[in-house]
Amino acid sequence: MTLVLLGLNHRTAPVEVRERYSIAPDQLEGLAEKFAAHPEVAEAALIATCNRTEVVVSARDLEQARLALADGFHRRIGDGSAGGEQTFELVGEGVVRHLFRVASSLDSMVVGEAQILGQLKDAYRSAVRAHSCGPVLNRLFQRAFRAAKRVRTETGLGASPVSVARVGVQLAGQIFESFEGKRVLLLGAGEMAESALRGLRDSGARDFTVVNRTVAAARRLAERFGGRAAGLEDLEREIGSADVASCSIAVDRPVLGRELLARALAERHGLPILLVDLGVPRNVDPGVNELRNVYVYDLDDIEAQAERGRERRGAAVPQAERIVSAEVDAFERWRAALPLVPTIRELRERVQQQIEQDLARATRLDASERRRSAEAMTAKILHRPLDRLRREAEEGAGPYYAEAVRSLFGLEEEEEES
């Protein structure tokens, strides 16, 4: 089996392309199932965040799987209009290193942010529910989670958690010297909205309104921070009275259009409004930038701001990269030994069967005792050769030694006879 990954992210594509390849959380399971249905794809999982859409598969045939991935990525996920030149592909160990770096937030727009690990776990759970996650991807994700845990606990990278939303708040601070007395609108009631709300509160804001499609969710978030809640139908009224809006609601198209904002601005009598768009697809229509007294920051602007903050967190990165490299090596050793599994299983069964036949003559032992004795003898007899076999596999000689063992013990001959 060969690992293959195809995707695009904040490093390869701007937000206007990423939004055309965005995947809603409830689509992950179905898409994973469809990718895994291809005859040359054994396992599949999809990773979807505001900054990346990536498909990883365990392939039976590399070239056929690559073609299936490219076709499925642009036809099932994208709209087919653009993005092909902004995708990237990884194969083999490159996939492992990439996924481990993603889990450890080393590949994030904001290095050290905490949300990505939860999003990766969502991808894994969706693949498990779709029955598209077999032994290779299961091990890959589990080792990625282990790498992330080590980076978080053994380096200073997670000591002061940051997030995309918090960086958005920093950008907002370039427009308003203080948020005291400013009316703040949160569009959306999810994790991103809560992170932005905390950042704004820490910066002095106290007047909050949470607007969401589901009012109950808006109310739960608003009540925790002493704010108000409103439904999406009240958006125009609420945006008209807001000084700052953080937008992170899940939508198919922008909900803050040019005409709506123009009407809201007329009610504000020239007072400026700041919109921080954290959504993919975008919540704010790009045409809004043409309006006077409207300041819009989107994820591409946040990427530029995050790049400056990356330098301050850089001291912990080399140590984190070393941890990732160690975990990649451990996974690759496990993967190199995979071809040995059928041979080891068959050899154990062969030896144990022979021992059980011999012990059957020992009439003093009942069936259960004979079975236990046979298992103990099998483990003892095979311990040294199997340990050597695994070590040779880790050095890349696994297929050669597996073939030698099958020949030495006549395992191939039995298959032909049966």
Q: Which fold has domain 2-158?
A: Beta Polymerase; domain 2 (3.30.460)
Which contiguous run of DSSP H or E holds residue 306?
A: helix 299-312
What mean pLDDT do residues 242-248 have?
91
The CATH code of the domain at 164-305 is: 3.40.50.720
Reported as a pLDDT band with limits 50, 70 and 90, residue 310 is low
Q: What is the pLDDT of residue 141?
A: 97
pTM above 0.85, yes or no: no
25-56 pLDDT, tens per residue? 889 999 999 999 999 999 999 999 888 999 99
- Which burial class, exposed, middle or buried, applies to 64 when counting CB atoms under 10 A from its CB (0-12, 13-18, 19+)? middle
Q: What is the pLDDT of residue 250?
A: 87
Ranges of CATH 3.40.50.720 domains, the chain = 164-305
- Of the residues 1, 50, 111, 172, only one is catalytic, namely 50
At residue 72, what are phi and psi to the nearest 5 degrees? -65, -35
398-411 pLDDT, tens per residue? 788 888 878 877 87
CA–CA separation, 54 vs 264, rounded Å?
Answer: 38
Reported as a pLDDT band with limits 50, 70 and 90, residue 311 is low
Q: Which of these ranges, 107-121, 174-188, 299-313, has the smallest mean pLDDT?
A: 299-313
Q: Provide the residue type at 392 as one letter.
A: E
CA–CA separation, 329 vs 334, rounded Å?
Answer: 9
Q: Residue 110: pLDDT above 80?
A: no
CA–CA separation, 43 vs 48, rounded Å?
Answer: 17
What mean pLDDT do residues 14-30 have?
88
Please name which of 296, 282, 385 lies closest in space to residue 50, comparing C-alpha atoms: 282
Q: What is the pLDDT of residue 196?
A: 86
Ranges of CATH 3.30.460.30 domains, the chain = 2-158
What mean pLDDT do residues 286-313 have?
79
What mean pLDDT do residues 242-264 have?
91
What mean pLDDT do residues 108-130 have?
88
Give yes or no: 133 in active site: no
